[in-house]
Amino acid sequence: MTRLLVIKQYIKYYVARYEVYLQPLAKFALAYIVLQFANGATGYMDRLNSTAVVFVAALTCSFMPPNFMVIMVAGFVVAHMYVVSLECAAVVLAIFLLLFLLFFRFSPRDTLAVLLTPICFSLNIPYVIPLMLGLLGTPLSIVSAICGVVAYYSVSYITANITTVTAMAADDMAVRFRFIIDGILDSQEMLVMTAAFSVTIIVIYFIRRLPITHNWLIAMVTGGLVHILILLLGDLIWDVPVGVGGAVFGMIISIGIAKVIEFFVFHVDYNSTEKVQFEDDDYYYYVKAVPKVTVAAPSRKVRKIHTRRSKEEEA
Amino acid sequence: MVNEERVILMTKLAVYEKGPGKLNVTIGSYFRGDYIGFQLLKSIISVTLASGIILGVYIFYHFEDLMLDVYQMDLLEIGREMLRYYLIAIIAYCALTYMIYSYRHHKARKGLLNYNRNLRKLSQMINNEGEASSK
């Protein structure tokens, strides 16, 4: 454990020292990954699939505010949808605009959650998002989670039914439009997932703020159980397909990732908790102080060992 | 000699200025009423645009039915109904905006008050040090 703590100190030190370079680099890497993922999930426009285009787009994102990344990814997805059909592009654009106008403005700082939600869904670990937002965010982070879930399910519905949409080319435009809208609005899975994300974030947020020992771990496990419970309820009531084994496995991995986050953000030593009580003119104070686990990063000293020759010897 | 307390205070101030302080200074530069009013205005514009999008999607979705029944429809009644929904949406959304941005303004002011207190403390510390060195 001490070795891990030393590594953590080193990481913190170097991140703080080279923040000026690391921040744009991290933004570039994230934008590149997310754009490549968007291309992989949709990828109907050949020009956008080119690595050079993605590279330039990611490079632009690295010098812009984080929210620009969301706009860039949304632009890519709409452009890909436009190749499939105008109706697909119109529906996706309308959904993105509604999310931006009505929801995303309340929590613009959770950009990372919005961008990572579709990726985590594809990796079968979507549960890490509510865990992360519950532990690090506020109840308003629900808004970002909902944006991510709605965007993912809308796009994945269209990509899953792409053959049907293209086969309907002979039909009227309004028929294709209705088919897409109906499919997205009738997605019970999206509603269940939205409810599960929202409730999990709230549960985790309130438990991790309780003044109890191991509150973060309790919050993670309880949140995870609540999430699976809601998915099972969705399965019972609306027949939403839930692979219980996969969900439990994904949840265990998500809790593992959340534990790593906890190690970096909230690593405390409950055994050394101190409870003190004192007073001043106005108040009585009942203070519970939990120390953070830290170690000093060992500083390396280079000692040069060499024999000093006297001038006489040299002579 | 390095004054440890002063360095800690300066670090705290710098961290605040770089992090939440940046946003809080912007929020704090507005009067509460102006800030919330500006956000409410943005909300009204957002709801209006969103209503336009929803209306557009609705019309396109029911395009055939609307074209068939357009002469039998009581357009005035439909207009009134739509206006009612629009107003309900605006009221609900503005209420939500009011709650969220009142809380944010309150929090930002609190943070700035603390920041100013620390600044005063630092200034006093520097003055005291100056006086001590002149003696």
Could you give the ipTM of this predicted complex?
A: 0.74
Is B25 a domain residue?
Answer: no
* Mean per-residue pLDDT over chain A, rounded: 85
> CB distance B50–A140 less than 8 Å?
no
Q: Tell me the whole-structure pTM to 2 decimals.
A: 0.79
Distance of CA A89 to CAs A72, A155, B73, Å? 15, 10, 31
3-state secondary structure of A277: strand
B33 φψ region: left (φ > 0), alpha (ψ -120 to 50), beta (else): alpha
Residue B108: predicted pLDDT: 87
> CB distance A97–B50 less than 8 Å?
yes
- A280 phi/psi in degrees, rounded to 5: -130, -160
Burial of residue A95 (CB within 10 Å: 0-12, 13-18, 19+) is buried
Q: Which of A254, A268, A19, A278 is nearest to A116 (CA)?
A: A254
Q: What is the mean pLDDT of residues A83-111?
A: 85
**What one-letter code names the amino acid at A89?**
A
Q: What is the mean pLDDT of residues A157-173?
A: 81
Between B98 and A239, name the one with better pLDDT.
Answer: B98
* Mean per-residue pLDDT over chain B, rounded: 85
Is the confidence at residue A130, as pLDDT, over 60? yes
Is B3 a domain residue?
Answer: no
Size of interface A-B (CB pairs under 8 A): 34
The secondary structure of chain B, three-state, reads: CCCHHHHHHHHHHHHHHHCHHHHHHHHHCCCHHHHHHHHHHHHHHHHHHHHHHHHHHHHHHCHHHHHHHCCCCCHHHHHHHHHHHHHHHHHHHHHHHHHHHHHHHHHHHHHHHHHHHHHHHHHHHHHHHHHHHHC
What domain range includes position B66? 36-122
Q: Which of A145, A108, A123 is nearest to A257 (CA)?
A: A123
Helices first, then strands: H and E counts in chain A:
15, 2
Is the confidence at residue A260, as pLDDT, over 70? yes
DSSP A105: G
Q: Which residues of A226-241 are buried (b: 16+ CB within 10 A; e: fewer)?
A: bbbebbbebbeeeebe
B46 contacts in chain A (CB < 8 Å): 101-102, 105
Is B86 a domain residue?
Answer: yes
User: What is the tally of structural domains in chain B?
Assistant: 1
Of B47, B50, B63, the CB nearest to A174: B63
Of A94, A140, A172, the CB nearest to B57: A94
Q: Which of A163, A100, A221, A266 is nearest to B53 (CA)?
A: A100
> CB distance A106–B63 less than 8 Å?
no
Q: Does B49 touch chain A (CB under 8 A)?
A: yes
Residue of A91, A102, A138, A142 to mutate, interface with B, max B Cβ within 10 Å? A102
Of B53, B93, B100, the CB nearest to A98: B53
- A293 phi/psi in degrees, rounded to 5: -85, 115
Which of B 60-79 lie inside 8 A of A, CB atoms?
A: 60-61, 63-64
Of A98, A105, A178, the CB nearest to B61: A178
- A289 phi/psi in degrees, rounded to 5: -110, 120
Is B59 a domain residue?
Answer: yes
Q: Note whether A87 and A172 are within 8 A (CB).
A: no
- When pLDDT is cut at 50, 70 and 90, the band that residue A26 belongs to is very high
DSSP A214: T
DSSP A276: E
Residue A310: predicted pLDDT: 58
Is B21 a domain residue?
Answer: no
pLDDT in tens, A175-192: 888 888 988 888 888 999
H or E segment to which residue A252 belongs: helix A244-265
Identify the residue whose tokens are 């403390």.
B121
